[in-house]
Chain A
Amino acid sequence: MLCCFTVFIFCPTQFHNLQELRHSASLANKVFIQRDYSEGTTCRFQTKFPSELESRIELTLFEETVKTLNNFYAEAEKIGGQSYLEGCLACATAYLIFLCMETRYEKVLKKIAKYIQEQNEKIYAPRGLLITDPIERGMRVIEISIYEDRGSSGSSSGSSSVSGSTAR
């Protein structure tokens, strides 16, 4: 565990490449950040810090990531002048306009994908973590994969397969 930690401190570039992270580290665990329904049915994720990440990443960085994502989704789902205009214009053209124009939601999703990629490269991959875009999980959860160095003996899961039933 200590050597694994050392590896992360002194060789942050070891996992700089996300592909390398997948190849040279084994998946130890996954944490799922749930949706926050306290403010309604719009897409929002909880900012509660999972205990599994306590030793891996600072609370402030995690909260900032989740809050930024929440802001992006709020912007995408905002119902206001712009969305009404887009809706009415699209209806008037029998929605053919979407063949040549991206919807506002799609534009924001691209921004989110870019942001997650950037966060993974700069902050999460050096700490042996990987965020999966919520869209890949049906907007249900933010999945954070926790990787351990293959050489380390401190893995909580001995298996690199993703079936969680074996872990219990």
Chain B
Amino acid sequence: MSAVMITRKLRKWEKLPGKNTFCCDGRVMMARQKGIFYLTLFLIIGTCSLFFAFECPYLAVHLSPAIPVFAVLLFLFVIAMLLRTSFSDPGVLPRALPEEANFIEMEIVLKKTTQSYFTNNFNVFWCLVNELLKNFQMNHIQWAVCRYLATPATECCCCCFSDRFDHHCPWVGNCVGKRNYRYFYLFTLTLSLLTIYIFAFNIVHVVMRSVDQGFLSTLKETPGTYPFKYEYILLLVCFFTLWSMVGLTGFHTYLISLNQTTNEDIKGSWSGKNRGQNPYSHKNIVKNCCEVLCGPTYPSIAAEKSSAPKDDPPPAAKLPPLASPETDAETSIIKNQ
């Protein structure tokens, strides 16, 4: 008697509203703008190709064959980390259904269970809820884009809404969030090492050639001459990359030691009056580093299969879009019009 519902196995990501692109049956997830990612790939592969083609033969013969071997391993690791960061789901959260949002709204408006949500020791959620309560109007609270709650009306930032959102990195063509932060960090770290390595051996190569042939004749040969033109390109690229990569790696090492995200650091979430209240921090640098780098690898919620009826009602579209989470990810509220 009851209507037979046509079910088909829908991948979560097929229902996920947002501005990501997916490939390989949802296994690969990236932002829409990928141009700069291709540039990153080109720069890394191009620079390393020049190094392997024009410098490694000389260095392998005159110094040690281990030099190019180590460079190859480092290069492969950098590419693996870059691809892993770029193609991973950063930790995108599915949006809350209207009944969930309404349920929570009722609970908080009536303050029925506010106290049971948290104790005095842990007041992060309380900070968020306080902000919400300060601005709510009697009929309706619209939820901010924050890591605990999201509604179907949420407009994602540039491309995604992820748990522990760090930042959107155009160089890797993806957002960096909880799931792919360690790959991003390892990418910056190993790229810095690779850049330093290439830069150092570039200089060693020039020095050794000038010792062999005399410095002045090396300089005379070098401008515009076949292998050496490329050496200057290498030196230039490495020099500028070095400073930015080392700086970025240093900054992220600092963030890891405090178990903070770039987003939290920029907004000063755990500084000023909230100093020392970061709930993610273990108050111990070693523990923080271990958790971020060697902690559990979280599953991709977006990639989970879910069997949903084909005729699922679409999320309620009547709530107007919210502010961008990049400006006010944790505490922004849009008042009901």
Contact = CB atoms under 8 A, between A and B. Distances in A.
Chain B interface residue count: which class? 35 or more
B299 A105 contact: yes
A84 interface: yes
B239 interface: no
B36 interface: no
A106 B299 contact: yes
Interface in B56-102: 76-77, 80-81, 84, 93-94, 96-100, 102
Interface residues of A, number: 51
B297 A137 contact: no
Given A95-B84, A96-B80, A105 B148 contact: no
A119 B231 CA distance: 66
B99 A79 contact: no
A34 interface: yes
B5 interface: yes
Contact of A137 (B94, B118, B122, B125): B94
Contacts of B279: 37, 40-41
A24 interface: yes
Interface stretch (A3-11, A59-67, A86-94, A121-129): A86-94
B97 A76 contact: no
Contact of A162 (B4, B99, B118): B99
Interface stretch (B130-138, B198-206, B286-294, B320-328): B286-294
A165 interface: yes
B100 A143 contact: yes
B304 interface: yes
B299 A165 contact: no
Interface in A1-43: 22-24, 30-32, 34-41
Is the contact region of chain A dominated by helix, strand, or loop, or is it mixed?
Answer: mixed
B280 A30 contact: no
Interface in B96-155: 96-100, 102-104, 107, 113, 116-119, 121-122, 124-125, 148-150
Interface of A: 22-24, 30-32, 34-41, 46, 48, 76-79, 83-84, 86-88, 90-91, 94-96, 98, 103-106, 109, 135-141, 143, 150, 161-165, 168
29 contacts: A30-B103, A34-B113, A38-B121, A46-B116, A77-B295, A79-B290, A83-B295, A84-B294, A86-B297, A87-B294, A87-B297, A88-B294, A90-B297, A91-B293, A95-B183, A98-B297, A105-B297, A109-B299, A135-B304, A140-B93, A140-B100, A140-B149, A161-B313, A162-B97, A163-B98, A164-B102, A165-B98, A165-B316, A168-B102
Interface of B: 2, 4-5, 12, 76-77, 80-81, 84, 93-94, 96-100, 102-104, 107, 113, 116-119, 121-122, 124-125, 148-150, 163, 183, 186, 279-280, 290-291, 293-299, 301, 304, 306, 313, 316
